[in-house]
Amino acid sequence: MTPLSKVIPQTKQSPSDISSHGRKPVRSVFKKGYFWLGLLLFAAFAIQEFGNFNWPWLAKLQANDVYKQISGFILAGYLLHQWRCSILRNEGLTQKAARLLNQHKMLGALAPAFFYAHAQHSGYAYLQALSLIYFAIFITGLCNFEITHIHKHWFHSFWIIAHVGLATGLVFLVCYHLFISYAYQ
C-alpha cells in the first residue's frame, strides 16, 4: 500500500454502477424513486383517461357532493403544502426550503393520485385547462435538472419560471373552480 492510498481510501465500483460510456452511474436515475413513482402514476392515469376507463365505485363516490368537497379541499391542501418551498425561498429561508425539497419531490410524484381521487377524468372547458396545467406542473417537476442532467444556467432559469409560473396560474384556476362550484349549487 502506498502512503497516498492510506490517506485516500480506494472505492471499488461494480460494472453495474458505471455505464459503458464512462458517464455517471446508471443507477443514479434509479435512486430517484420519486421519478419512477410519478411516471408510473401518470402512465396509469393517462391509460385510464385516454382509454376512457372508469372505476364504477369511485365514480359513484365522486358523484357524492360531500365526497367532492372533501376530496377537493384535500387536493387544495396538497397544493398549498407544495407551495411551501417557494414561499420559504421568497422569505429568504433557503436552507429550510432545501430540507423540504425531497419531501416536495416525493409528494409531487403523487400528484396523479391526488387528482384521481378527486376526478377520474380531466373534464371540459376551463376544467380541462385546469387539468392540463396541473399535469404540466407535474411533468416539469418530474423532469427537473436532477433527472435530465442538464445543469446549464439557462435551463434552470427556464425550468423554475415554467414550474412556478404554471403553479401560479393554477392558483387562479383553482380559485375560479371553487367560485364556480359554490356559485352554481
Q: What is the DSSP string of 115-145?
A: HHHH-SS--STHHHHHHHHHHHHHHHHHT-H
Q: CB 74: neighbour CB atoms within 10 A?
A: 13
pLDDT value of position 10: 47
Q: Rounded distance, CA 185 to CA 182, Å? A: 5
pLDDT value of position 143: 86
**Region for 125 from its dihedrals, namely left if φ exceeds 0, alpha if ψ lies in -120 to 50, beta otherwise:** left
10-residue mean pLDDT profile of the chain (185 residues): values are: 45 44 48 84 91 88 92 94 87 84 88 92 88 94 84 88 94 93 80
Q: What is the pTM of this model?
A: 0.77
pLDDT value of position 8: 42
pLDDT value of position 185: 67
